[in-house]
């Protein structure tokens, strides 16, 4: 478990967050996102719709949605509101640079961020903090709730969280295969079943390829009339 200097870590991450909030970088191009599947009550988009910066997806009780953001698959769980704040992707010719910032206003999201370049970023802002996923070393799986409950079963992420208490208001940790408890403001072990839940949640929204059924080809049949060759009398 690694605890950074609280204020040093916070201001470093806060500065990064402020930079992201400025908007598009000079050479950035729009990224790609789409809602590829949904079930139950979902508002903001329909399955197959393209999404962009400014899109807001909300699910009600019993509703779930699967989105793909710059190639990363995310499941939006029931009673969740998620917005896409920044969505950029650029191929520099040397590497692909991806910048994603999401705002989780309520509810819970689960998914996996694919390994990305050192200039890329993937940030999930929360009402009282933010999670910065670091996929420079490999894929990162996550389970993030708006109340600050965070699980990173695989990979690394930095969390900054404002506990709103009289002492040690703001805490900052690097999670490496760990979780975060917003109540006591400290890292915790990832409970059993979280990893499987992420896998099931994400794989459950993989859209199977459309298969067009083909009709069996019938051999061409000749019909020979019994009267062929007979002359009319």
Residue 230 has pLDDT above 90, yes or no: no
So what's the pLDDT on residue 167?
Answer: 66
So what's the pLDDT on residue 39?
Answer: 80
The pLDDT confidence band at residue 224, using thresholds 50, 70 and 90, is: low
- pLDDT above 70 covers what percent of the chain? 73
So what's the pLDDT on residue 15?
Answer: 36
Cα dist from 197 to 23, 34, 41, 76, 108, whole Å: 34, 22, 21, 13, 12
In DSSP terms, 130 is beta-bridged to: 125, 160
Q: Highest mean pLDDT: which of 16-20, 132-136, 167-171, 202-206?
A: 132-136
Rounded Cα distance between 158 and 169, Å, is 17
So what's the pLDDT on residue 55?
Answer: 93
Q: Highest mean pLDDT: which of 1-10, 39-48, 118-127?
A: 118-127
Rounded Cα distance between 174 and 157, Å, is 6
What is the per-residue pLDDT across 72-86, written as a single tens digit (0 to 9) for each? 999 999 999 999 999
So what's the pLDDT on residue 106?
Answer: 97
So what's the pLDDT on residue 153?
Answer: 97
Name all domains of the chain by residue range, CATH numbers in brackets: 2-203 (2.60.120.1440)
So what's the pLDDT on residue 206?
Answer: 54
Nearest alpha carbon to residue 153 among 204, 203, 194, 200: 194
pTM confidence score:
0.77
- The pLDDT of 62-76, averaged and rounded, is 91
So what's the pLDDT on residue 208?
Answer: 44
Residue 210 has pLDDT above 80, yes or no: no
What is the per-residue pLDDT across 135-189, written as a single tens digit (0 to 9) for each? 999 999 999 999 999 999 999 999 999 988 666 689 999 999 999 999 999 999 9
Q: Highest mean pLDDT: which of 30-34, 49-53, 147-151?
A: 147-151
């Amino acid at each position: 478990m690694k605890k950074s200097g609280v204020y040093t870590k916070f201001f470093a991450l806060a500065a990064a967050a402020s930079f992201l909030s400025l908007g598009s970088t000079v050479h950035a191009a729009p990224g790609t996102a789409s809602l590829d599947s949904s079930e139950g009550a979902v508002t903001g988009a329909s399955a197959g719709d393209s999404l962009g910066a400014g899109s807001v997806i909300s699910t009600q009780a019993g509703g779930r949605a699967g989105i793909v953001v710059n190639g990363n698959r995310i499941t939006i769980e029931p009673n969740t509101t998620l917005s896409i704040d920044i969505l950029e992707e650029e191929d520099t010719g040397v590497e692909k640079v991806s910048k994603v910032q999401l705002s989780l206003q309520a509810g819970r999201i689960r998914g996996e961020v694919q390994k990305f370049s050192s200039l890329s970023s993937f940030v999930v802002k929360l009402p009282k903090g933010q999670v910065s996923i670091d996929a420079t070393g490999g894929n990162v799986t996550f389970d993030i709730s708006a109340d600050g409950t965070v699980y990173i079963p695989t990979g690394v992420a930095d969390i900054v969280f404002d506990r709103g208490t009289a002492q040690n208001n703001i805490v900052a940790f690097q999670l490496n295969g760990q979780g975060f408890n917003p109540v006591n403001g400290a890292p915790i072990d990832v409970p059993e079943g979280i990893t499987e839940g992420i896998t099931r949640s994400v794989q459950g929204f993989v859209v199977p390829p459309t298969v067009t059924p083909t009709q069996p080809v019938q051999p061409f049949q000749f019909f020979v009339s019994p009267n062929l060759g007979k002359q009319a009398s």
